[in-house]
Structure 1
Amino acid sequence: MRFVQNFIVFFFSAGAFLLLFLTLIPFLPSVLWPLELLSHFQTQYFLAAAIAVLSAVILRRTLPDLYFSKQLLRPLFLVPLLLALAVSFFSIAPYLPVRIIMGETVKGGETLTVLQSNVYKYNTDYAALLVHIETYNPDIIAVSEATPGWRDALLPLKEKDWPHMIDRAAPGSHGMVVLSRYPFIEKEVLYPSTKTHPVIFFRIRAQERDILLASLHPLSPMTARRYHSRDEDLAATAAYLEAHAKGNVSVIVTGDLNTTMFSPSYKQFIRETGLTNTRRGRGLYGSWPVFLPAPARIAIDHTLYKGELESVHFTTLPSINSDHLSTLAVFR
């Protein structure tokens, strides 16, 4: 009996050390593909560590004579859990909703609003996205997994307030469409890592500023090949911005990047570009997958920026029956 009890305690202690290792992955300079996949769940690791520590304390207080109550508060179990709690908190802390708690509001004045949406290739609820567009009246609309059906549903917007379109709609998950209220000063579509998944670059003049935007939807890193393809798209985007965002040009990068803020690949991209995530200080806003409860989702749909722009608002939007939530970012 005691052997079984000791084995269970060992199992939980090993789990505590594993949890600590998982929280450390975002701080590694580079990792292999399977480890990178495990880096995205820092919010969930924080919650798991917090629940484990709290459970151990409650068990100790309510059943102090129970064998497990004594064992689970020993350093072999508690120390790695507390470290995992601290390390994961350090990862998520920049994205806690401090600005929301302090009462952030979008004040008057001219703004630039970017609506980004992965609509899901099998979703045909076109009206749901059109309601978002009508409600929030964005200046830029960036749609990924845009099939020809989605392109056709968005075409009438050209006759309204978004006359400028970049159309790379296609069957499957790699189609993209961009609509803009502002004329394109220049535009370019590249295919850095595949012949199917574009990275769309375009420059506009808004708020008396030159703004270079990039919209992309790299492959999801579910295999080693797709992982490297995603990172190639991120690297190509960073190189393009370095070459073209000269002087006082501001930059916005938006899309389903298929990475969270905790991935070493994402951190490398941020180091290379100097971009800032509009989530900072506003919340983690998990955007995928929608069918899971909010605490279980991860944030892979982003709007990043740098330059003379000021980020004044970010949020996810109600579901449009996609597996992703759309995002809305407002700049001044």
Structure 2
Amino acid sequence: MENDEFDHWSKVVRQTDADVVIAAEIDQRWKASLDGLKSIYPHQIVYPQDNWYGMAMLSRLPFRESEIRFRVQDDVPSIDTMIELPSGEAIRVIGVHPRPPEPIRDNDATARDAELVLWGKELAEDHRPIVIGGDLNDVAWSPSTRLFLRLSQLLDPRRGRGFYNTFHADHLWMRFPLDHVFHSPHFTIRGLKRLEHVGSDHFPILIDLQLQPVLKDEQEPLEEKAKDEKEAELKLQRAAESDEIEAVTTPLSSHAEILHSGGQLG
């Protein structure tokens, strides 16, 4: 949200030529940049906010259905879509940005951990092709992220490939992998890279996935642990007892701007 390099960011997006773009911390100032990409990405869900939790999803592929969801707090949205591929098949693509621990504001990790648990448990029950990505405000090796992967049975494409540290982009030291893309075993990986500095304190991440369900039984998610369900319930209970958190899930808000030229929005 504090990045003013609108033209640079847009240039990198154009050069990258991705099918789907998830952008975090979108506010009203960024709308012009998103509008400038309509010729490439005619399908857009834009939910600007001035609290560092606005979000947008841009796609050259049509949305069959879409929903803005507030899993834990009513000012922290996620974007949940079904996107139609040129083959006619559909995949579920989700953009997330849970609230991080903020000691200076007396916020702990309760909200973030609860959101990851809710997504993990829900996605475990969905056997369609799934991609979920965003700034999780958590490193790849943390207990919370690994619990999410065990609950959801999704795959981390970095396993065996490297850390892909994305934060802090302005520092040459103490960088961490806070931005993630996880996917179901329906996909194989054609490429994964960290992109150039775009003015943000986070580097962008680009992943190239190929839908190949025939190979899904050959990919191994993290092995579940006996204590996972109990740990997950404890995190949800902690969130339920917090005065700062109100668990909600709402349909698409009228404040979101939807640019859509096909299919149906739910």
Quickly name the TM-score band, shorter chain normalised.
0.7 to 0.9
Shift of residue 207 of structure 1?
5.2
In the other structure, the counterpart of 1:126 is 6
Answer yes or no: is the 8 Å Cα contact 2:155–2:185 preserved in 1: no
Question: Aligned equivalents of 2:178 and 2:203: distance in 1?
Answer: 10
Answer yes or no: is the 8 Å Cα contact 2:124–2:153 preserved in 1: no
In the other structure, the counterpart of 2:216 is none
Question: Aligned equivalents of 1:212 and 1:238: distance in 2?
Answer: 14
In the other structure, the counterpart of 1:324 is 202
Shift of residue 175 of structure 1?
0.5
Answer yes or no: is the 8 Å Cα contact 1:199–1:233 preserved in 2: no
In the other structure, the counterpart of 1:180 is 59
Residues 221, 123 of structure 1: alpha-carbon distance in 2 compared, 3 angstrom cutoff: same
1:235 aligned to 111, 117, 121, which one?
117
SS at match of 2:163: coil
Answer yes or no: is the 8 Å Cα contact 1:199–1:237 preserved in 2: no
Question: Aligned equivalents of 1:268 and 1:222: distance in 2?
Answer: 21
Aligned AA (1:214): I
Residues 261, 321 of structure 1: alpha-carbon distance in 2 compared, 3 angstrom cutoff: same
In the other structure, the counterpart of 1:142 is 22
Larger helix fraction of residues: 1
If asked which structure has higher relative contact order (CA below 8 Å, sep 6+), I would say 2
In the other structure, the counterpart of 2:68 is 189
In the other structure, the counterpart of 2:158 is 279
SS at match of 1:162: coil
Q: Which runs of 5+ in 1 are unaligned?
A: 1-120
Residues 45-86 of structure 1, C-alpha deviation per residue, up to 9 Å, x if partnerless? xxxxxxxxxxxxxxxxxxxxxxxxxxxxxxxxxxxxxxxxxx
Question: Aligned equivalents of 1:191 and 1:232: distance in 2?
Answer: 12
Question: Aligned equivalents of 2:86 and 2:163: distance in 1?
Answer: 29
Moved more, 277-286 or 134-143: 277-286
Shift of residue 152 of structure 1?
2.2
Answer yes or no: is the 8 Å Cα contact 2:122–2:152 preserved in 1: no
Question: Aligned equivalents of 1:252 and 1:190: distance in 2?
Answer: 16
In the other structure, the counterpart of 1:49 is none
Question: Aligned equivalents of 1:237 and 1:155: distance in 2?
Answer: 30
Give the number of equivalent residue pairs: 207
Residues 261-303 of structure 1, C-alpha deviation per residue, up to 9 Å, x if partnerless? 111000100001111112222221111011221x520001011
In the other structure, the counterpart of 2:140 is 261
Shift of residue 210 of structure 1?
2.1
**What's the TM-score, normalizing by structure 2?**
0.74
In the other structure, the counterpart of 1:303 is 181
Matches within 5 A, 1:15-26: none
* Structure 1 vs Structure 2 CA RMSD: 1.5
SS at match of 1:185: strand
Aligned AA (1:228): T
Q: Which runs of 4+ in 1 moved over 6 A?
A: none
Shift of residue 202 of structure 1?
0.3
**What's the TM-score, normalizing by structure 1?**
0.60
Shift of residue 322 of structure 1?
0.8
Q: Which runs of 5+ in 2 are unaligned?
A: 211-266
Shift of residue 197 of structure 1?
0.8
Indicate yes or no: 2:80 matched with 1:201: yes
Question: Aligned equivalents of 1:135 and 1:141: distance in 2?
Answer: 12
Residues 202, 221 of structure 1: alpha-carbon distance in 2 compared, 3 angstrom cutoff: same
SS at match of 1:265: helix
Could you tell me the percent identity over the aligned residues?
26
1:221 aligned to 101, 106, 125, which one?
101
